[in-house]
Structure formats: structure tokens, C-alpha cells
Chain A
């Protein structure tokens, strides 16, 4: 073990949770285990929850993650994204230093995991990003009883209630029926959200080809290669404007308000995101059809999950920590915000872009 993970007393008889996992500049550090979870800077050993770029970065010595997460990192960063890699399955337990780690499905995107770290008798679950809502493109969220639960708080305000994503897709299809001469352009994050929207459209019985922005093709084809049925997909590139009338196309959110949209006939701009719950957000982006579809747990999901884990102590990270910490405390749970920096500053994590944050 190198200096990075050396601690003064790893063999003390009573371990406090913060002796097992501690937020440091590089991310959440497990000294007794000799690794970091989702480090934002290159470290010797990284254990990674899921493939979104603010959680899964290149340049670590060794990476432990699910097969899908490792594949996504390879697709995004190239073959040499880490010194070495090790695959772990859901439910599999691995001993690392003085702790054991076990991966459980997080229901966020394909391959996403919660990481249970156990040292002596204390179990901490670092849930990464998670959602407890159904999603045809990934393994459902699994509840893991634990002593300390580390939860995200992206939508940690009671105004975020996401409802049934199928209803939002119905809204999209109703609009396509009402405006058959226009193209419907759906902004969706390219890893996870896009494939979920496509799968939901297929579930709703929409069987026409769905068009993809170039930036989404690789990851979407990867989903298909993992056996996820998405029906017929076509690249937008090379298709004549008139031929795009009446179609649905998916693109990264940043593309839906830029030059790229000029290839579509009078496009209706939609955006599939949990942020669309708040009208000012949708208006600022110039969205005409907001679709409240999120890959993160909503307020009810966060609070129900926290209660169900049975954890007596809750650590709250990235997002609206204040309200969630307040809620935990009002329920008699020990709770504190965990100051982790670097999450949610990439497009993938649905963080508002600068112009949204201003208002």
C-alpha cells in the first residue's frame, strides 16, 4: 500500500464510519481498503459506480467496476483508459485491504451500481446516482440495508416529483400526432436517458425508425449489443430535411438549440429531464415540450429509499443537500452534507448549464 492510503490507525478496534470512508479532494477515499470511489482525479485504485463522465474518469491505476461500466469507459476514453481493470458482477463480493466491497444494482443507467463497503461490522453503502423508478434499459434498483447510506441529492427538493415516464412519452406521441409535418427533436443525455426514451417509445407501441444525432450512435449501439431492444435506429446525418417531417430524433441537449437543428423541418424542441418539472428551467432553455423523465430518484424516491435502508446515519452528496439533510433530521436520522466536489459538472449528470443557474 502506498502513502495515498496509509492511515494512522487502521486496526483500531472501534471504527467510526469516517475512518472507513472519508471525503478528500480526489473523491471518497477508503483508507482501510486502499481505494477511492468515483475519484475525480487520477488515483492508484478506483472503484466506480457507473459510466457517466463525472463519475468515471480516465487515468486511474486500477479500476474495479461492472462489465458495462468498464465497456463504456473504453468506448469513451479508448483502450488505455486505466492501468488495469477488474470486472465485478452484481452481488459479487471482493476483499480489498481490510474491507469487503459488494456491488448492487442502482437502477440509474446500464451497469450502474451501488457499492457496499463493509469493515468489521459497519456497512456503508455509496449509492452513486440511483433511481427507484422502472427502466427497461437497466437492472432495477436494489435496496441494501446498511448502517450509513450515502445518497445523492440531485432532485433533493419536494418540488421534484417525476411521475410516470410512460405518461411523458404519451405526451410526446400526442404531439407527434398533432404536428405530423414537423420533426420532434428530443434532447436527452447520450448515456442512459436517450436509450430509456427510445425503449419507452417502443413500449408505447411506436415502431417507426427513430433518428439519432451522431454523438449518440456509439453508446446506443453498445446498449443494443447488450441485448436491449431499441427497434430500428437511423442516423440523422445524410437524411433530407423533408424526410424528417413527422419523425422523432434524439440529440444531446446542447445540440437541440444550435445550428444542428436547422436540418429539421420546423422542429418541436423537447427535453427529457427531471429538471423539466420546473417551468422556469424549461422556458430558459427555450423548450417547447418539456418531458419530465429522470434517471435520478425524485424526492419521494430519495426519502423512501433513505427510510427503507434502515441506516441510522445519512451522508448527502451532490445536489440539493440542505432540504434532504433537513428532512433526515426531522425524522430523527443523523445526517450531514458530504462535501464532495466535481460531481454534476458534466452534461451527463443533468446539471443545469450556466445560463440556467443564473436565474
Chain B
């Protein structure tokens, strides 16, 4: 447990993805079975036991320390698990009498079967045996608050690296595996056969598109491509299959292969034909696709209430068919898969699942026009939910990853405003010596004339060279410092104008300006423009009018 805690501790501070991978892979190589398997389970969220309540942890520490001392400490540290882990008094046993600290395996297997009554005593014993970091990790684990900022996908990628395998391979067999994954590690270390996925509804690695650039079109023939709308929802894979007894099992996967069926139980009954659909998850109300902001209300929910289901009716819009009953269609050309998809959706005949229409075009000019005005090009009332167009080669098989020249995405042009840099904050990791996080604002009428109001924060979009320039500007034009944040000069005639690109706008009572941007980034530095010529809040408010009001769920 102490070694696993050490890994978690290190991961918590490490900002870089590749470095995280190396830390996890290093752990898998160093630590044997079954501990590493339970670690993989903990990192992928595959462990299940009833979590302890914070009140229980408070009771444990109250029995061991003075109330005043705990109060002062908790005040200082600010996190219950951490406070308790740090101040837990050493057990009054002699050193040579101490039992060895528990292994991760011991902790996980014990928690799975332990009754509620026995839990406090058991936790106490473990807390006595572990070190500070071990106690911290234990308390985070048992209270279910282990937030370490790594995805299940990252943990699987780290495991794949043990055997120099492609993470897709693990993704494919993952649903058939269970902790502590002895068969998986045996295969990765070349000691055993590759585990077989017996899941009736397995995930298939997703095919992704490249962003198309203006100069790419010259080399492409419109006749080779089929175009379709790119919907602003969540890309998913909906799979249904028959188990040994002939019953249908249905699962919904995110594009990284995470099983998200639990968040969308209302879609499961609609997946009643064996097959694998690649599509977009949307919210439909009275036949109209709702904005991404609305869909967001249904994301990352642990509990899905009937009210939520009713107010945010889920819908699947199908792009592609990867499997039809027993048949794997992925080797077929896209045009053929598309025909099979149309038949499949017709047979399915379910109001929650429909076909994403193709966009007919004869020339790139025609497609440019359609992309500029989806409403007149077939998207009708759903045009606001169109994020752009997709181009798919007619003869492209369904390939995992992002193969070159097969699929292209051509997003609609982002919204652009000119805003004024107001505050700059130091970045993290590689960027810790740079002021790389920028808060920018636009003009609005204040109590004493025009003033800038912050409307967003961006930390990418600029080149390395531009970062150096902004960093220099920030250092030379700081008016005040608040810890890692610098207040940068922003007056009508003094300051830096940033051209900010963003995908959408949302009303937000949490922001002073009342608006929040989606996916903002710095698209250009406007050294030429005086701050007084930057945009006004009214411009953003006009853009908001098109968006439906936020609904609280």
C-alpha cells in the first residue's frame, strides 16, 4: 500500500502526460502480482466497495487527538483525509512488534467483504501500520475521493507499455478482464496467451479525423468523398450483442472506450438489435437537437434521476455501422457501410435513434456554401447544433486511430473577438517560468464610464515565440502582483489586445460578465490595436440571444 501511495503521490504533482505514463509503467514493472493489478483497477475506476463516510474518519481522529489540536490542524491543511493522515499519532507499540503495513491487495480484498461494523477497527489498524503517504492514499481510497487527474485510458496505455503493445489491444479485451488482471499482465510480459474478450458487446477502437486545411482541398477530388454534418454532441459507440443464452446486452462507450452505459440507461432499450453503431449522443426536444450546453447537464452523472431523463431526453444520431449482428463490417468501404447503416436504422425503427444525413455536394464551392449555412443545406432547425462538416472517403475502411487521408473534419469558423489582457498567471510544469495563463476582458459601461470586465481565460493558441513575447510584455507591464498572478496594465491607450477565438458562449451567473466561453484560445496578438478599440460586452450578449436559456437540472 505504501508503494502504491507513493505512486499516487507522485502522479498528483506531475503535470506531464508522458511523465505520468512513465511513472505508472515503472510501477507496473517494479511491483508484482496481484498488487499491480489492483492498482490498475484503482486507476481505471474498476474497484467497487462501499465508501466510508467522512464522519467515520472524523470519529477515528477524535478518539486519538485533542479537539483543539485537530481544529487548528484541519484549518491549516484544509483537507480531511490529509489532516488525519498527517496527524495520526503513532501507535503505542514497540517497533519490532509492529505488523508489516498492509499491501494494496490486502486493503482492496478486505474492503470488499468487510461489514460496516468492522470497518472502523480495521481502518484504525491500517492507519497505525502505514506511513503518512500510505495513510493519505488509504483514506482517499476508502472515502472514494481519490482524484489523481488521470484517465482510465492513460492507466491502460501505461499497462500496454509494459509489453510494448498498442493500448487499443487492451481496450478491445478490457471488458472481459477483471482485477487483479493476472492474465493481462502475463500476456504483457510474454508469459501467457492474449486474453480473449468474451463480452457480447465489446468496444471497437474508434476512427478519428484530421482537421482539414485550406491547401488540402487542391489534392482532393470531391467525387471520392461523402460529406455529413459534424454534430456538436458526444461521440459514442453503441453496441448490442447476444450473450450465451441469447439475451441482448447493450453498452454505450465513450470514444476512448470508457463504458458510460450507466449514465444513459434511457438509451439501452433502444439498442435492441445486435450491432455496433458509431454516432453522436445528443439531446432532442420536440425533434430539435439542443445545444451542447444542454447536453452537458447529462454528462458525468453518477445518479440519473427520472426527472433528468424526462427533461433531457437522450438521442443517438448514427454515422456509421461497425458490426451488424455477427458480421464485422470494418473492412468494408465506407459507402457500403453507410448503406448497411441505413438498412439497420430502418430495421431498428426506434424514435431515439436516427440517421445522420449526408450533405450532397458536387464541388468544394458547394460544400463551402453548405458549411457556411447548414440551415439551408438540409440541417434546417438543427443548424445551431452543427459544428462543421465531416468528409469521409467512399472507399475508406474503418481503421482505429487517426489514419492519414481517410476522414477529414472541417469545423465551422470559430467566433472571434478582440479582448484586452487583464491578468496573467504562471503556468505549470514546463511553463512554470512563463506567464502563460491569460485572463482577458471586454469593455462595458460601468459606474464611472467604460471599464473592462473579464470574460474568459485562455492558456493556448499562441506559438512558442508569441508566448515569449507575451511573457516579456507581462513582466514589463505589471501594475500589481497577487502571488502567482500579475495584474497587467489595461487602460484605453495602454495594454495588449488579444484576438480570442472560441466555439460557443453560455450564460453564466458565476462570472461577473454573465457569460462563459467554450474552448477559448488566443488566435492572434494585436500589437497594432489600442485597447480602446477592443470589443464590447454587448457584442457577446447579442451572440447569446441565439442560445436557449440555461435549464437547471
Contact present for B483 and A354 (CB under 8 Å):
yes
Contact present for B72 and A178 (CB under 8 Å):
no
Given contacts A178-B26, A278-B77, contact A157 B433 (CB under 8 A): no
Contact present for A283 and B87 (CB under 8 Å):
no
Q: Contacting chain A: which of B9-17, B172-180, B494-502, B514-522?
A: B9-17
A179 at the interface (CB under 8 A from B): yes
Contact present for A279 and B432 (CB under 8 Å):
no
List residues 151-171 of chain A with CB under 8 A from any CB of chain B: 157-161, 163, 171
Given contacts A257-B426, A354-B483, contact A288 B433 (CB under 8 A): no
Look across to chain A and name the residue whose beta carbon is closest to the beta carbon of B23: A178
In the complex, A355→B484 CA distance in Å? 6
Contact present for B66 and A258 (CB under 8 Å):
no
In the complex, A159→B89 CA distance in Å? 10
In the complex, chain B residues whose CB is within 8 Å of the CB of A262: 433
Contact present for B22 and A277 (CB under 8 Å):
no
Using an 8 Å CB-CB cutoff, how does the interface string of B66-94 with A read, 1 for contact, 0 for none? Answer: 10110011001111001100110100000
In the complex, A353→B484 CA distance in Å? 10
Look across to chain B and name the residue whose beta carbon is closest to the beta carbon of A182: B19
Q: Contacting chain B: which of A54-62, A138-146, A322-330?
A: A322-330
Contact present for A269 and B432 (CB under 8 Å):
yes
Contact present for B26 and A323 (CB under 8 Å):
no
Using an 8 Å CB-CB cutoff, how does the interface string of A39-57 with B read, 1 for contact, 0 for none? Answer: 0000000000000000000
Contact present for B72 and A323 (CB under 8 Å):
yes
A290 at the interface (CB under 8 A from B): yes
A261 at the interface (CB under 8 A from B): yes
B429 at the interface (CB under 8 A from A): yes
Look across to chain A and name the residue whose beta carbon is closest to the beta carbon of B78: A280
In the complex, chain B residues whose CB is within 8 Å of the CB of A161: 86, 132
A335 at the interface (CB under 8 A from B): no
A282 at the interface (CB under 8 A from B): yes
How far apart are B546's CB and chain A's nearest CB, in angstroms? 39
In the complex, A106→B428 CA distance in Å? 38
In the complex, chain B residues whose CB is within 8 Å of the CB of A359: 78
Given contacts A159-B76, A283-B13, contact A326 B426 (CB under 8 A): no
B311 at the interface (CB under 8 A from A): no
List residues 113-146 of chain A with CB under 8 A from any CB of chain B: none
Contact present for B426 and A288 (CB under 8 Å):
no
In the complex, A356→B19 CA distance in Å? 26
B131 at the interface (CB under 8 A from A): yes
A286 at the interface (CB under 8 A from B): yes
Look across to chain A and name the residue whose beta carbon is closest to the beta carbon of B89: A158
Given contacts A159-B76, A161-B132, A330-B66, contact A286 B428 (CB under 8 A): yes
In the complex, chain A residues whose CB is within 8 Å of the CB of B86: 158-161, 277-278
Residue tally, chain B, CB below 8 Å to A: 36
In the complex, chain B residues whose CB is within 8 Å of the CB of A326: 66, 68-69, 72
Contact present for A288 and B69 (CB under 8 Å):
no
In the complex, chain A residues whose CB is within 8 Å of the CB of B433: 257-262
In the complex, A280→B78 CA distance in Å? 8
Given contacts A279-B12, A322-B72, A326-B69, contact A257 B432 (CB under 8 A): yes
A287 at the interface (CB under 8 A from B): yes
B65 at the interface (CB under 8 A from A): yes
Look across to chain B and name the residue whose beta carbon is closest to the beta carbon of A178: B26
Partner of B73, one of A257, A260, A261, A323: A323
In the complex, A259→B86 CA distance in Å? 34
Contact present for A159 and B83 (CB under 8 Å):
yes
Contact present for A327 and B13 (CB under 8 Å):
no
The B interface, classified by DSSP as helix, strand, loop or mixed, is helix
Look across to chain B and name the residue whose beta carbon is closest to the beta carbon of A261: B433
In the complex, A141→B344 CA distance in Å? 81
In the complex, chain B residues whose CB is within 8 Å of the CB of A147: none
Contact present for A157 and B72 (CB under 8 Å):
yes
In the complex, A322→B77 CA distance in Å? 15
In the complex, chain A residues whose CB is within 8 Å of the CB of B482: 355, 358
How far apart are B529's CB and chain A's nearest CB, in angstroms? 28
Contact present for B77 and A159 (CB under 8 Å):
yes
Given contacts A269-B432, A354-B483, contact A158 B87 (CB under 8 A): yes
Contact present for A287 and B13 (CB under 8 Å):
yes
In the complex, chain B residues whose CB is within 8 Å of the CB of A163: 131-132
A349 at the interface (CB under 8 A from B): no
List residues 463-521 of chain B with CB under 8 A from any CB of chain A: 482-484
Contact present for A266 and B430 (CB under 8 Å):
yes
In the complex, chain A residues whose CB is within 8 Å of the CB of B26: 178
In the complex, chain B residues whose CB is within 8 Å of the CB of A201: none
In the complex, A266→B14 CA distance in Å? 12
A289 at the interface (CB under 8 A from B): yes
Contact present for B131 and A288 (CB under 8 Å):
no
How far apart are A351's CB and chain B's nearest CB, in angstroms? 14
Look across to chain B and name the residue whose beta carbon is closest to the beta carbon of A292: B132
Using an 8 Å CB-CB cutoff, how does the interface string of B428-468 with A read, 1 for contact, 0 for none? Answer: 11101100000000000000000000000000000000000
In the complex, A125→B132 CA distance in Å? 33
In the complex, chain B residues whose CB is within 8 Å of the CB of A355: 482-484
Look across to chain B and name the residue whose beta carbon is closest to the beta carbon of A356: B483
In the complex, chain A residues whose CB is within 8 Å of the CB of B72: 157, 320, 322-323, 326
List residues 1-58 of chain B with CB under 8 A from any CB of chain A: 6, 10, 12-15, 19, 22-23, 26
In the complex, chain A residues whose CB is within 8 Å of the CB of B69: 157-158, 323, 326-327
Using an 8 Å CB-CB cutoff, how does the interface string of A331-359 with B read, 1 for contact, 0 for none? Answer: 00000000000000000000001111011
Supplied contacts A323-B68, A330-B66, 7 more A-B pairs, CB within 8 Å: A158-B65, A158-B69, A163-B131, A269-B432, A286-B484, A288-B429, A326-B72
Residues of A that sit less than 8 Å from B by CB: 157-161, 163, 171, 175, 178-179, 257-262, 266, 269, 277-280, 282-284, 286-290, 320, 322-323, 326-327, 330, 353-356, 358-359
A–B Cβ pairs within 8 angstroms, 11 of them: A157-B73, A257-B433, A258-B433, A261-B433, A277-B86, A286-B432, A287-B13, A323-B72, A353-B483, A355-B484, A359-B78
